Structure 1
Amino acid sequence: MTSSVLSACAFDCPDSCGLVATVEGGRLLGLRGREDHPYTRGFLCPKGSRWVRDLAAPDRLTVPLWRDGAGFRPLSWEEALDRLVRGVESALAHSGHLGVLWATGSGNLLLGNGILDRFPEALGGCTRVRGSLCGGEGGAALKESYALRAHLPPETVLASRRILLWGRNVAVTNPHFVPLLVEARRRGALVGSLDVRTTPTGRFAHRTWTVRPGSDGALARYLARRAFEARGFPDAPGEGGETFLAALRSLGEPEARGATGMGGEDLEDLARFVLDEGPLSLWAGWAVQRSLQGGETLRCLDALVFLLGSQGVPGGGLGFSADDEAAFPADLGRLPGTRPRWIPRPAPGPALLEADPPVEAALFLRANPLSQAQDAGALGRFLETCPFSACFDWRLSVTARACRLVLPVSPFPEQPGDFVLSYWHDLLQRTNPLVPSPVPSERELLLRLGARLGLADPFTEAFGEMERRILATPGLEPLGEGIWRFPHPREHQGPFRFPHLTEAVPAPEGPPGLPWRLVTPHRFGSVNGNDLAQARLRTGRLAAWVGPAALVSRGWKEGDEVVLSARGARLEALLALDPVLPEGVVVVESGVEGLNALIPPALTDRGNNRLSDAWVQVERG
C-alpha cells in the first residue's frame, strides 16, 4: 500500500521547496512539490526530484570504507567505530581537545545541525571552523545599515516598477523566483539583469548589461553619486550621508567606464533604468560580496536604494539573503566552559598545516572543503599527513576520497524529524524522514561514538527543547501542516547608516604572472560544490569560457585544449565562447574537482571567503 509523507527540502538552496513523497514498503516511489506551499507552489526543481534516483543509486555509500595503500576496502560497523574511537582518543592523548578537528558545512540546512555542535563542546571545544563560503560577508555588512534590518520578501517584486538583478542569475539559483518576476512583468514592471557573463536570466530580462568582474564596487559608487545628483537626500532619516558622498566625488563617468568596461551608452542606459520611476527593488547575488570589498559594495548598493527613496516602501528595497538560523536557539549548541580554537572555514588548509598543537584527528560532517574551500591544495597536503581523518557522508565526495575512514550517514530525506528555515522567503518547515535509512544518521553515529568515549548523551534533551522553543516563537504563524510563516522583522528600525568607504576601489588587475581573472559561477543542478558525480573520478574535459577577443588575439578556437594554472595547481579544460566576456576573463563553473586549488586563501576582514578574487594563467594545452 502506498502512502504520502510531507517534508521539505533542506538543500543549501534559497527556495526550500515543500515536498510530498510517495512511499511503498519503505521505498521512495515518487517525489513532487507541495501544492499548498505558499512560495514554491507545487514546483520541485531537479535537485530535489533526483532523490528518487539518488537514494537508491549504486554510488550511494552503505558500508564504512577504510583507505590504505591499496585503496578503499569495506569495514564492518564494529571495526569502523573502533577505528574512529582510536583515532579520536589518540588525538586527545597527544594534543588535547584541540587535536580534534570538527569541520562542518552546509551539506544540508537542518536547524538541528546546531545541536550536533554539542559533541565537540563535550570534548572541550576542539578545533572548529567559522566564516562563510556563501553570503556571510554581505549579510553581516547589510546588518550595519540599520539598527534592525527588515527582511525583504521575494513577493516585493509584485509592487516594484523596476527590478534590478545585480549578479543574481535567478533562472539557475532561484528558479521559484522566476514566476514572481513573470507576474511582476505582467503588472508592468521592467526587469534588468547586470552580470559579468551571458546567463539565462539575462535572456529573460527587458534590459541586460555586462560589466567587468571585480568592478561592482566602482559601479555602485557611480550610480549612488548619480542618484544623489538627480534627487538629493530622500525624506527619510540617515546618518553619515555627507561623508559618504564626499568619497564619491572622484568617481565620474570616465572612471566608471574604465573600471566596468561599459560603453558610454550602456552606462547611461543603466543609470536611466535605475533613476527612472520607482519603486526599485534590487536583488544582489552572492558573487558580488565574495571579494575584499564585497561587504562595502553591498552597503553602497543599499545606499543607492536609499537615495532613490526605495527603502522601506512597498515594491522597494535591497534583497540579498535572510537569516536561515534565526529560528534556532543558539545557546542549545553550546556547553559552558569550553575553549574552541577557530580556523577559517573558507580556507582551512593553511591554518591546519600551521596549527600548534597539531590536529591529529580530522572529522568532516556535511562538508566537502576539498571541493569548496579556497586553496584546496593546502587542505589536501594536510590530509596527506594527518594521522587520522574521517568523513561522514552519504556519497564518496572529493573530501571523502582523501580521508582514511568514510562513514556512510543518511542524507536529509532519511534523517529524523527536524526543521528548515529558508534564507530567501520567510517559511519555516518541518522535515520528516521519507523512508527508513539503511545507515545511521549523524546524530545516531555521534551518540555511538560519544558512548564509547564515555560522554553522556548531549543531544536528546536538546532536540526536544529546540522543538519546544521553535514552536513557541512569538508571532509564528501556522500556514499548513508543517509550514509556518516565521516572524522576521517587517520594518527597518533606526536611521539609515551610510557606509564609511575606503579611499578608492582597487583596479581589477591580477598579480604578476596571473593575467586572467577567474570567475567560478554556480553550476546548474549542483549544491554548494557538491554532486553525486564526485563519487567517480572525473572523465572528459571541462569547459572554460572566454570572450572573442581572447580567441582572436591568440589564434585560439573553440574546442582547443587549455590549462589553467596558479599556486602550483593545474586544471585542464576545453575552450568555449561567451560573446560578452572581455579580454583577460575566464569562466569555469564551480563544483569541479581541482578548481579551488587555483584560488588563494585570502579572506575578507570579517573572515569570509574571497572566491571572486582569483587570478590564473591560461595557456594552450
Structure 2
Amino acid sequence: MTTAPRICPLCEATCGLTLTIEGTRVTGARGDRDDVFSRGFVCPKGASFGELDADPDRLRAPLVRVDGELREATWQEAFDLIAARMRPLTEEHGPHSVGVVLGNPNVHTMAGALYPPLLVGALGTRNLFTASTLDQMPKHVACGLLFGDPNAIPVPDLDHTGHLLLLGANPLDSNGSLCTAPDFPGRLKALRRRGGTLTVVDPRRTRTARIADRYVPIRPGADALLLAAVAHVLFAEGLTDLGALAGQVQGVSEVRDAVRDFAPEAVAAGCDMDAEEIRTIARELAAAPTAAVYGRVGSCTVEHGTVTSWLVDVLNILTGNLDRPGGVLFPLSATDRAPAAPSATGAAVPGRGFALGRWTSRVSGHPEAKGELPLAAIAEEIETPGEGRIRAVIALAANPVLSAPDGDRLDRALDGLDFMVSVDPYLNETSRHADVVLPPPPPAQSAHFDFAFNALAVRNQVRYTPAAVPLEEGRMDESEIHARLILAVGGAHGAAPADVDEAAIGRVLGKAVADPSSPVRGRDPKELSALLTGGTGPERRLDLKLRLGPYGDGFGANEGAGAWADADVDGDGSGGPGLSLARLREHPHGIDLGPLRPRLPDPLKTRSGRIELLPAPIAADLPRLRAALTRTGRPGSLVLVGRRHLRSNNSWMHNVPALAGGSNRCTLQIHPDDAARLGLRDAAPVRITADGGAVEAWLEITDTVRTGVVSLPHGWGHDRPGTRTAVASARPGVNVNQLLDGSRLDPLSGTTVLNGFPVELSPVEVPPVKMPPVEPPPVELREVRP
C-alpha cells in the first residue's frame, strides 16, 4: 500500500487529495492536510475519487462503427478511420463543415486545456460550441466589455471581505464557480465569525442561504432589476465612492443616467421585494469597510444574464471595491503572462479591446462571443441544408444531448451526420452517436495541473501532481489522444504526437524572443527549447509557461528580481522568483504564492486603457431590461429553476454509486401553497410542460422553494438506449432541458435561459411506479476539514 498526492479534478475547488493505492488501484481518498491551498478539505465528490476512477463502465479501448454497430478496435484502426473520413470531408465541404463541441470536463484536465485550441486551429472551423453558453458566457462577455479581456474575471477576496452579496450561487453545494476556493463553506462561516455579513439572493432557500445574515427569496430572473435598483440608490443617495479607481474608470455619469428609471419602487414588483429592503441592501453594501458582489450560474442563465453579470462588477466599481483587498481582485496565476511594465508617464495604455459578433451562425445569425457560438444552435446547424452545413462533429468530453436544449432534436440531428468523433470515457447519450469513440484513461493515470482554475483562485498558488499510477497497458494518455486527433484531422496522420507539442512550443518561443518586454528577448528559441524539462510534451509546455510566467525564472533572467519577488516560490521563506517545472516538482503539495493583491491597470485591455463602465452593447440591451419593469406574469403562473447537489456535477457523476444515493434525486420541488392550489400530491408523478415539450417527474413538496417557483436539477435523463452507464440508467431521472426548444437566449452571450422560464404542471393520472425511496448512500461521505 502506498499514498500519492493528487489534485481533485471533479469540481472547481481543486482540493488536494491523498490517494491510497494498492498495487495500481486507488482504494481510498482523503483530504491532503499538507496541500498549500485546500489544507485537508474534501467533499463527497473528492472522497469518491477511487470509485469513479475504477468505474467498470469506463471504456478501456476505442470504439469504431462497423455496419452500424460500435465495436472495440485498436488505436491505430481508430485514428486511421478518422484520417480517412475527416480530411476528405473538409476538403470537399470546407473547414466550417466540422463542428467542435467542448464540455466542462475539459477544463479539469491538462489535455483539455492544452489541445482543443490547436484542434480548432488545425480544422480552421468557426463552428465552435462549448458548455460556456450553458453557464458562464455572460460573465466572460461582461468582463470583456468592461476590462477588454473576457478572461479577466475578478473574484471575491473571501478571506478578507467584510460583506458578501451573493446572487444565484449555492457554493455550499457547488463548491464555487468562477471562484476557485477550497472549503468555500468554511470561508463563508469564517466571514461571519469575524463579524462580516453574508446576504444571499436566491429563489430557493439553499444550504448557503440557511447560513446567511440576510436571505432574499427573489423572483427568478429579476437579479438585473435588483442590481440596477441598488446602483440607482447609490447614485441617488450619494453613496458612490470609486476610491483608487477614480482615474481608471470612464462612463460613471452615463451609468447614473442609465439606471435612473430603476428606482426601488419601480423594480419592487418585478423582484417581488419590498422597496425599503432594496435600499437597505444598497446602504449596507456602501457602508461596509470592504465588500464584494458575486453572482454565478443562477444569475447568468437567465433572460438578462450578461446585463446582470455587468451590474455585479458595476456595483463593485461604484463602491470602490474592485481591485481592493477585501473586495474583488484579479488573480495572477503562475501560467499567466507576466505583468507588463507600467507606463513611464502613468497614462492609460490602450489595448486591443473585446468585440462581439465578429461572425454569426449560419442559420439564425447568432453572433459569436469569445469565438464561440451558442450550443443551443448546433442542432439547426446540422439539420438545415445548404452551403456551410455542419456535416461532422468532434465532441471532446461533451454530452450536449443532456446539457443543451431539446436533446430529442439533437439526437435526430447527430444521427444525420456524415461522421462524428467523441473523446469520452463513457458510451453516453451523446457519444453513442459517434463513429469513433476515443476513451481517455482514468484520472489516477494522468498528470494534473489547473490552468483555468488557478486564474480564478482566491489565493495565488501553484500545484502539479504527476500520474498516481502507471498508464494501464492498452490505454493511451489523454494528451496523446488529443495530439493524434489533431494530426489525423490536420493532414499529418502518422507523424509523431510529440510534433504537435514541439510546434506549439516553437510558436510560443518565437513570439517571446521577439517581444521587447520578454525576459528572453533576442535569445535563440532552439537553445531555450533545449533547456525545457519534463518527460512528456505537456510537461514541457507547462515548464515553458511557468518559466515565462509572472513567477518564472525567465530561463535564468529573473533570478532574484521581479515585480513579484516576495512570492515564496522556493517554499523556504526566502522569497524571490524562479519558478520552473523542476522547482515545482520539488513541492508535491504545491507552492503558496501569496494573497491576491491589486493589479490594475495591468489586466485592462480596453481600447481606452481604462475600465469602460457603460459599453455600447450593454447600453443597447438596457431597453430590454426597462421593458421588464412593466411585465407581469399571470396570477398563479409558475417558473422553473435548476439546482445543484453536493454529490453531483452535471451529467458525468451520476454513474458513481456513492454519489447517486441519498437525497441526490431528480425530483420537481414545489412550495406547499402551490401544490395545494394545483391539487398536487407529494411523492406523486407530475407532468411539466414548457416551450420545448413535456417531461414527467416525481413531485417533492418543500418550503425551501418560494411560491411561484418549481425546481428540477440539471444533467439527468439517462434513459436513452445504447448507453453503457449502468448506475445512471438504473436511476435515470428526466432531462430538464427537454422542456426548452433553444429559442430563449441571452442575446449578448448566446447563453440558454435555463432558469426562470414558464412551465405548467398537471397531475399524471396513473402512476407507472412508486416514487423511489430516499436511500442513504452506500458509504457515509462527509465534508472534512482539519
TM-score normalised by length of structure 2: 0.69
Post-superposition CA distance 1:527-583 (Å, at most 9, x none)? 244224299xx9998311122332122122222311223344332111222425455
Give the aligned partner of residue 9 of structure 2.
Answer: 10
Distance (whole Å) between structure 1 residues aligned to residue 592 and residue 409 of structure 2? 43
Q: d(CA) in 1 for partners of 2:254 and 2:91?
A: 56
Contact 2:382 2:417 in 1 (8 A): no
Query: Which residue, out of 608, 628, 651, partners 1:507?
Result: 628
How far apart, CA to CA, are the structure 1 residues paired with 2:283 and 2:239?
16
In 2, Cα distance between the equivalents of 1:441 and 1:505?
52
- Give the corresponding residue for 1:336: none
Displacement after TM superposition at 1:588 (Å):
0.6
Alignment CA distance shift 1:72-1:222 (3 Å): same
Partners in 2 of 1:277 and 1:177 — Cα distance?
21
Report the Cα offset of residue 511 of structure 1: 10
| Structure 2 residue aligned with 1:472 | 548
Q: State the SS of the aligned residue for 2:198.
A: strand
Q: What is residue 191 of structure 1 aligned with on the other side? A: 198
Aligned equivalents of 2:120, 2:231: Cα separation in 1: 46
Residue 105 of structure 2 aligns to a residue whose secondary structure is: coil
Q: Which of 518, 538, 545 is 2:669 aligned to?
A: 545
Q: Say whether the 8 Å CA contact 1:99–1:361 is kept in structure 2.
A: yes
Please give the secondary structure, in 2, of the residue aligned with 1:231: coil
Q: What is the identity, as a one-letter code, of the residue corresponding to 1:315? A: G
1:346 matched to 2:375? The reply is: yes
Tell me, yes or no, if structure 1 residue 205 matches structure 2 residue 212.
yes
* 1:67-101 deviations in Å (ceiling 9; x for gaps): 68997554455554454444435534642443333
Cα distance between partner residues in 1 of 2:226 and 2:103: 33
1:225 pairs with one of 232, 256, 281: 232
2:57 paired residue among 56, 59, 68: 59
Q: Which secondary structure does the structure 2 equivalent of 1:381 belong to? A: helix
State the partner residue of 2:648. 526
The offset of 1:199, in angstroms, is 0.2
Q: Specify whether residues 559 and 267 from structure 1 end up closer, same or farther in structure 2 by C-alpha distance, changes over 3 A only.
A: farther
User: Deviation at 1:322?
Assistant: 6.3
**Deviation of the 1:466 alpha carbon:** 4.3
Equivalent position of 1:305 in the other structure: 316
Q: Is 2:460 the partner of 1:436? A: no
Q: Which residue of 2 aligns with 1:409?
A: 440
Change (3 A) 1:276 1:552: farther
Letter matched to residue 527 of structure 1: N
Do 2:7 and 2:15's aligned partners in 1 also have CA atoms closer than 8 Å?
yes
- CA-to-aligned-CA distance 1:496-518 (integer Å, 9 cap, x gap): 54335413444396999x95422
Could you tell me which residue of structure 1 aligns to residue 747 of structure 2?
Answer: 604
Aligned twin of 1:333: none
> Is the 1:416–1:433 contact (alpha carbons within 8 Å) kept by the matching residues of 2?
yes
1:108 aligned counterpart, secondary structure = helix
Q: 8 Å contact 1:141–1:295 — kept in the other structure?
A: yes
Partner-residue secondary structure (3-state), 2:210: helix
- Could you tell me how far apart the structure 2 residues matched to 1:7 and 1:417 are? 8
Residues 515 and 76 of structure 1: CA distance in aligned 2, closer, same or farther (over 3 Å): farther
Kindly provide the amino acid, as one letter, of the partner of residue 350 in structure 1. E
Structure 2 gaps of 5+ residues are: 176-181, 339-358, 362-370, 505-537, 553-566, 572-586, 602-608, 718-734, 765-786
TM-score of the two chains, using structure 1 as the length reference: 0.85
Q: Helix, strand or coil: the match of 1:433?
A: coil
Contact 2:85 2:419 in 1 (8 A): yes
- Displacement, 1:205? 1.4
| Counterpart selection for 1:588 from 704, 712, 729 | 712
Unaligned stretches of 5+ in structure 1? Answer: 330-338
For residues 446 and 224 of structure 2, the distance between their equivalents in structure 1, rounded to whole angstroms, comes to: 42
Pairwise CA distance, 1:230 = 2.9
1:433 Cα offset (Å):
1.3
Aligned to 1:137: 138
Mapped to 2, the partners of 1:19 and 1:471 lie a distance apart of 26
Does the 8 A contact of 2:293 with 2:315 survive in 1? Answer: no
* Alpha-carbon distance in structure 2 between the residues aligned to 1:244 and 1:454: 53
C-alpha deviation, 1:26, in angstroms = 1.9
Partners of 2:640 and 2:757 within 8 A in 1: yes
Distance, in Å, in 2 between the alignment partners of 1:359 and 1:325 is: 38
Structure 1 residues 350 and 534: CA distance shift in structure 2, 3 A:
farther
Structure 1 residue 429, shift from structure 2 partner: 2.5
Whether the aligned pair in 2 keeps the contact of 1:420 and 1:431 (CA below 8 Å) is no
- Partner of 2:613 in structure 1? 498
Aligned length, in residue pairs: 605
Residues in 1 aligned to 2:124 and 2:174: alpha-carbon distance in whole angstroms: 39
In structure 1, distance between residues paired with 2:86 and 2:79: 11
Checking the alignment, whether the CA contact within 8 Å between 2:325 and 2:597 is kept in structure 1 is no
The SS at the match of 2:226 is helix
Which residues in structure 2 correspond to 1:344-383 (within 5 Å)? 344-347=373-376, 348-354=378-384, 356-383=387-414
Deviation at 1:324, TM superposition (A): 8.1
- RMSD over aligned Cα atoms: 3.7
Distance 1:516 1:309 in 2: 38
Matches within 5 A, 1:43-58: 43-58=41-56
CA distance in 2, matches of 1:253, 1:449: 55
Give the CA deviation at 1:125.
4.4
Distance 1:62 1:165, change over 3 A: same
Judge which range, 235-244 or 81-90, deviates more: 81-90
Q: Residues 95-110 of structure 1 correspond to what in structure 2 (within 5 A)?
A: 95-109=93-107, 110=109
Counterpart of 1:344 in 2: which secondary structure?
coil
**Distance 1:102-1:496 versus aligned 2 partners, 3 A rule:** closer
- Secondary structure of the residue aligned to 1:223 is helix
1:558 paired with 2:682, answer yes
Q: Tell me the residue number matched to 1:460.
A: 501
Letter in 1 for 2:298: A
Q: State the AA in 1 paired with 2:309.
A: L
**Residues 389-415 of structure 1 deviation map (CA, whole Å, 9 limit, x = unaligned):** 232211233212333443322244322
Deviations 1:145-179 (A, max 9, x none): 4578987565x334333222222211011261121
CA drift at 1:195: 0.8
The 10-residue stretch of structure 1 (472-481 or 19-28) with the greater mean CA deviation from structure 2: 472-481
Question: Matches of 1:340 and 1:28 in 2, distance apart?
Answer: 47
Letter in 2 for 1:475: Y
Report the Cα offset of residue 293 of structure 1. Answer: 2.5
Deviation larger for 543-552 or 214-223: 543-552
Secondary structure of the corresponding residue to residue 471 of structure 1: helix
When structure 1 is superposed on structure 2, of 142-151 and 42-51 the one drifting more is 142-151
Deviation by residue 1:195-219 (Cα, 9 ceiling, x = unmatched): 1112001111122111000100111
Name the aligned partner's letter for residue 386 of structure 1: L
Q: Corresponding residue for 1:316? A: 327
Cα displacement string for residues 263-321 of structure 1 (whole angstroms, at most 9, x for unaligned residues): 4565455445434443222222222122343222222232223333434443224x7x9
For residue 443 of structure 1, what is the amino acid of its counterpart? S
| Secondary structure of the structure 2 residue equivalent to 1:427 | strand
What SS does the corresponding residue of 2:544 show, helix, strand or coil? helix
Match in the other structure for 2:590: 483
Deviation at 1:590, TM superposition (A): 1.0
Aligned partner of 1:334 in structure 2 is: none
Retained in 2: the 8 A contact 1:374–1:596?
yes
- Out of 370-379 and 492-501, give the one that drifted further: 492-501
- 8 Å Cα contact 1:150/1:491 also seen in 2: no
Residue 548 and residue 38 in structure 1: after superposition, are their counterparts in 2 closer, same or farther (change >3 A)? same
Which has the higher mean CA deviation after the structures are superposed, 39-48 or 525-534? 525-534
Partner of 2:419: 388
Q: Which moved further from structure 2: 517-526 or 539-548?
A: 539-548
Q: What is the one-letter code of the residue matched to 1:367?
A: A
What amino acid sits opposite 1:9 in the alignment? Answer: C
